[in-house]
A = this chain, B = another copy of it.
Amino acid sequence: MKNAVQSGAPPAVRAREQCAELDARDELASARELFSLPPGVIYLDGNSLGAMPCATAARVKDAIERQWGEKLITSWNDAGWVDLPQRLGAKIAALVGAADDEVVVADSTSVNLFKLLSGALAQRPERKVILSERGNFPTDLYIAQGLARQLGGQHELRLVERHDLAASLTSDIAVLLATQVDYRTGSRLDLASLTAAAHAAGALTIWDLAHSAGAFRVELDAAQADFAVGCGYKYLNGGPGAPAFLFVARRHQQDFAQPLSGWFGHEQPFLFEPDYRPAPGIARALCGSPPILSMVALEAGVDTMREALGGDSMALLEAKAAALTACFIDLVAPLAEEYQLELVTPRDPAARGNQVSYACADGERAYALTQALIARGVIGDFRTPNIARFGFAPLYLRFVDVWDAVEHLRVVLARHEWDNARFRARRAVT
């Protein structure tokens, strides 16, 4: 377990100057210059939509005006659009502890989960249970429900509490479908030990890395993970609704079959054969034509992270995230006690992702709290029913941002702005 001292943060910060000192010593500090953040904003929602890299607009402009506008159809070859899903997948692979040929970029997380779950169930035909957590991100459950319905009702989606997953790995479980970092509480599962437990029970694993990839160290191959999906628009800073990625361990690729067998997953798409023949490797997980402009933006996000990390591993990123979240938890602690904000995020940095969440007894208060902070330029978000959530993307956040955010929170709480009708008016996406 890492702790705040190891990662450079003193056990307790008591003044903004101490935060400034931590920033001065931060080896990742210069990464912030690779992002464009609006003035006056402290952005604690990079776990929902990552910030915009400075490189993105020019990269997409080039893809539009030169690659598409001038070079037209030839860019499928000459600009490498045709294998961008694999090329970008290889870059992401390096961020999640996978081999180059084990990751591909495609579709959305939901669509990719459907592919992986279909393929995984087919590899365990004698077992009929998908094990997941009751509080999993809903789209993961919806996809499992949709697939189970389609397969004729023989399969069961068995939902248990998150902390009961390991104990629930009975011999009828075909697949464990788990999200490593809980989107509400920020609790982080131990990918390696849970994967080992699943394997010991004869089950396969599908990990949802939505809040993991680009956030901290993920070692898919070291953990012998089977399958995984991840999100391009959170910590990879790929832009709104950026394409997702998926991972299929090399040992499973040859037997991996998935029903969304579109032409980009064919061994030779441009032979236009009438019968599907899956591509030999990870490309068989592709389906239709890739949305190139969104994918170019994602590549800019991934390249930005690679540039920021340089030759360093993800360890530096993970240590900074641990320190930022620890600093926030420490500073908020007296306020949390005074105003009855319940910290629902684990205090052990190894047991949490890069977010800190508080539950309010009154859900409307949690909502109004985040809205009042947003009005002051501190952007976090609300998660139903009663969670105020704050994400700490280590590439572009500073320790002084943590300090300043807490100062705003102090004022919002002191003024009881959660009772202000203006902040209670609900919006579609929150």
Contact = CB atoms under 8 A, between A and B. Distances in A.
Interface in A64-89: 64-65, 67-77, 81-82
A143 B260 CA distance: 6
B49 A114 contact: no
Contacts of A264: 110
Contacts of A271: 384
Contact of A291 (B63, B151, B159, B242): B242
Nearest to A142: B276
Determine which residue in A137, A239, A261 has the highest number of CB atoms from chain B within 10 A of its CB, and name it: A261
Contacts of A82: 428-429
B43 A263 contact: no
A241 B289 contact: yes
| Interface bin, chain A | 35 or more
Contact of A263 (B71, B139, B244): B139
Contact of A261 (B36, B145, B274, B430): B145
Count identical subunits in the complex. Answer: 2
Contacts of A143: 260-262
Interface in A381-406: 381, 383-384
A221 to B, nearest CB: 26
A29 to B, nearest CB: 21
Given A73-B48, A139-B288, A239 B272 contact: no
A148 to B, nearest CB: 9
Contact of A134 (B265, B266, B274, B290): B274
B64 A146 contact: no
Contacts of A244: 288
A134 B379 CA distance: 55
Contacts of A379: 72-74
Nearest to A258: B146
Contacts of A108: 107, 262, 287-289, 291
Given A241-B291, A275-B145, A294-B293, A263 B138 contact: yes
Given A239-B293, A272-B384, A261 B70 contact: no
A150 B151 CA distance: 7
7 contacts: A45-B73, A49-B73, A52-B69, A60-B61, A72-B379, A110-B289, A240-B292
In the A-B complex, list the 9 residue pairs whose CB atoms are closest, starting with the nearest.
A108-B288, A110-B262, A110-B288, A146-B261, A139-B263, A240-B292, A291-B294, A52-B69, A150-B259
